[in-house]
């Protein structure tokens, strides 16, 4: 049986007529940057999340960078975040000359442990940036409470959690600014790079819009140092089609993720724990195993692709050695990064494929 890690071809076949029509409309209009498709997508993203403002941008990484820029994070500032994430989260902090202050994760959710945040706040702390990893939101109420006490903004790195619910509210609309990614393999994926920022703050929204367009409101009148961080119209058009079908996909992902957990019960793997009041969009369906390399090899023998998100926590990455952290500083992140592995996951994974994967795991 040939199994895809993520079945993007099946998804394209499902929406082909609509996607082709929308993309051809962009080609015919020659409005490749901005325009109606982007305006309409932003309106629909705002409605979907309940945020006052949704702003399309060039990638999840740029969304995080723009969020920090909008909050004036710069040289000498500290940003509290998790070491158990994709590099972008801390990369953008470093790019602005600020310093990542890492806080270990909770062993159940793999998200930042709110009980460990407060002791790391200093007078240089400029923001808290939790990550909603694998599709489940960080414990945003607890984080927002600490932030409010210290008058700090919170940026949710929701690059993996667009569509997830946290206590009745949508991911991306749970903090000062929410940032997501539309990388093709994400739950809501474009056909290239893309991302979005979400906020309920009018001033921040206006500033972000300026920053992503070279700091200008009016052509060639640059008020701020910005970037080229725009989302193009072709991606906006494709995302507009996929957003219409997104709730159905989220439901399927939830069913497939839950079914994985059911049929993997009482096996050697530790399945994801979804907190009460939360849902996961399973950007990754990630399990923990004692001997990961053996499990990966066993599945590979049967043609089952897997991936590791993420094998090295950020504090142990060569690029971040200058921060001065060492092995043992964040024991839970280190443990999980040695054991975690992701199984094939998409809204198009069939029960037969899932049974085949689980049989291989048990075998």
Strand partners of residue 277: none
Q: How many residues bind ligand PLP (CB under 6 A)?
A: 15
Nearest to 193 by CA among 332, 360, 22, 60: 60
Nearer to ligand PLP, 111 or 354 (CB): 111
x/- mask, ligand PLP, residues 114-143, rule CB under 6 A, reads: -----------------x------------
Supply the minimum distance, in Å, between the C-beta of residue 21 and ligand PLP: 26
What Å distances lie between residue 256 and 97, 266, 329, CA to CA?
A: 42, 18, 35
Supply the minimum distance, in Å, between the C-beta of residue 285 and ligand PLP: 14
Contact between 284 and ligand PLP (CB under 6 A)? no
Out of 162, 183, 246, 285, name the contact with ligand PLP by CB under 6 A.
Answer: 183
Q: Which of residues 13-32 bind ligand PLP (CB under 6 A)?
A: none
Q: Select the residue whose beta carbon is closest to ligand PLP and give its number.
A: 60
x/- mask, ligand PLP, residues 291-310, rule CB under 6 A, reads: --------------------
Supply the minimum distance, in Å, between the C-beta of residue 362 and ligand PLP: 29
The answer to whether 176 and 79 have CB atoms below 8 angstroms apart is no
Nearer to ligand PLP, 89 or 173 (CB): 89
Nearer to ligand PLP, 66 or 347 (CB): 66
Nearest to 255 by CA among 160, 349, 123, 156: 349
Supply the minimum distance, in Å, between the C-beta of residue 162 and ligand PLP: 11
What Å distances lie between residue 9 and 20, 21, 88, 236, CA to CA?
A: 14, 17, 27, 19
x/- mask, ligand PLP, residues 46-85, rule CB under 6 A, reads: -------------xxx-----------------------x
Strand partners of residue 136: 280
Total residue length of the chain: 363
What is the chain's percent helix, strand, coil content, to nearest 5?
A: 40, 15, 40
Supply the minimum distance, in Å, between the C-beta of residue 28 and ligand PLP: 28
Nearer to ligand PLP, 231 or 347 (CB): 231
Contact between 195 and ligand PLP (CB under 6 A)? yes
Determine the Cα–Cα distance for residues 20 and 198; give it in Å rounded to an integer: 28
x/- mask, ligand PLP, residues 232-251, rule CB under 6 A, reads: --------------------
What Å distances lie between residue 358 and 35, 148, 295, 304, 361, CA to CA?
A: 46, 44, 12, 10, 5
Determine the Cα–Cα distance for residues 354 and 309; give it in Å rounded to an integer: 20
Beta-carbon contacts of residue 80 (< 8 Å; ≥ 6 apart): 101, 102, 103, 117, 120, 121, 125, 127, 128, 129
Instruction: Say whether 313 sits in a helix, a strand or coil.
Output: coil
Nearer to ligand PLP, 139 or 193 (CB): 193
Catalogue the E-assigned strands of 61-154: 78-81, 99-102, 125-129
Supply the minimum distance, in Å, between the C-beta of residue 58 and ligand PLP: 8
The answer to whether 35 and 233 have CB atoms below 8 angstroms apart is yes
Q: Return phi, psi of residue 85, to 5°.
A: -160, 175
Out of 49, 51, 81, 88, name the contact with ligand PLP by CB under 6 A.
Answer: 88
x/- mask, ligand PLP, residues 148-167, rule CB under 6 A, reads: ---------x-xx-------
Supply the minimum distance, in Å, between the C-beta of residue 272 and ligand PLP: 16
Nearer to ligand PLP, 342 or 354 (CB): 342
Residue in the block written with tokens 């076949």: 13
Nearer to ligand PLP, 88 or 144 (CB): 88
Cβ atoms within 10 A of the Cβ of 136, count? 28
Out of 111, 181, 333, 346, name the contact with ligand PLP by CB under 6 A.
Answer: 181
Binding site for ligand PLP (CB under 6 A): 59-61, 85-86, 88-89, 131, 157, 159-160, 181, 183, 193, 195
């Amino acid at each position: 049986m040939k199994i895809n890690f993520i079945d993007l071809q099946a998804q394209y076949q499902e929406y082909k007529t609509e996607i082709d029509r929308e993309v051809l409309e962009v080609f015919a209009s020659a409005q490749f940057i901005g325009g109606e498709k982007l305006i309409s997508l932003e309106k629909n993203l705002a409605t979907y999340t309940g945020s006052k403002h949704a702003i399309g941008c060039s990638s999840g990484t740029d969304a995080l960078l723009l969020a920090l820029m909008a909050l004036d994070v710069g040289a000498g500032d500290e940003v509290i975040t998790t070491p158990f994430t994709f590099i972008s989260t801390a990369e953008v902090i470093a790019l602005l000359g600020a310093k990542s202050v890492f806080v270990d994760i909770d062993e159940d959710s793999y998200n930042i442990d709110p009980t460990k945040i407060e002791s790391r706040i200093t007078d240089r702390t400029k923001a808290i940036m939790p990550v909603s990893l694998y599709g489940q939101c960080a414990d945003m109420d607890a984080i927002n409470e600490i932030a409010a006490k210290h008058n700090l903004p919170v940026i949710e790195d929701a690059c993996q959690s667009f569509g997830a619910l946290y206590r009745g509210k949508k991911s991306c609309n749970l903090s000062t600014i929410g940032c997501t990614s539309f990388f093709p393999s994400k739950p809501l994926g474009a056909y290239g790079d893309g991302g979005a920022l979400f906020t309920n703050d009018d001033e921040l929204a206006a500033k972000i819009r300026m920053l992503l367009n070279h700091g200008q409101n009016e052509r060639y009148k640059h008020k701020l140092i910005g970037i080229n961080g725009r989302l193009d119209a072709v991606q906006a058009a494709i995302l507009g089609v996929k957003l219409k079908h997104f709730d159905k996909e989220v439901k399927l992902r939830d069913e497939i993720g839950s079914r994985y957990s059911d049929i993997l019960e009482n096996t050697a793997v530790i399945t994801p724990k979804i907190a009460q009041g939360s849902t996961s969009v399973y950007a990754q369906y990630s399990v923990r195993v004692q001997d990961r390399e053996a499990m990966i090899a066993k599945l590979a023998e049967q043609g089952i692709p897997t991936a590791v998100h993420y094998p090295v926590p950020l504090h142990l990455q060569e690029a971040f050695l200058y921060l001065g952290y060492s092995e043992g500083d964040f024991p839970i992140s280190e443990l999980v990064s040695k054991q975690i592995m992701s199984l094939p996951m998409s809204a198009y994974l069939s029960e037969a494929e899932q049974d085949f994967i689980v049989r291989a795991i048990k075998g």
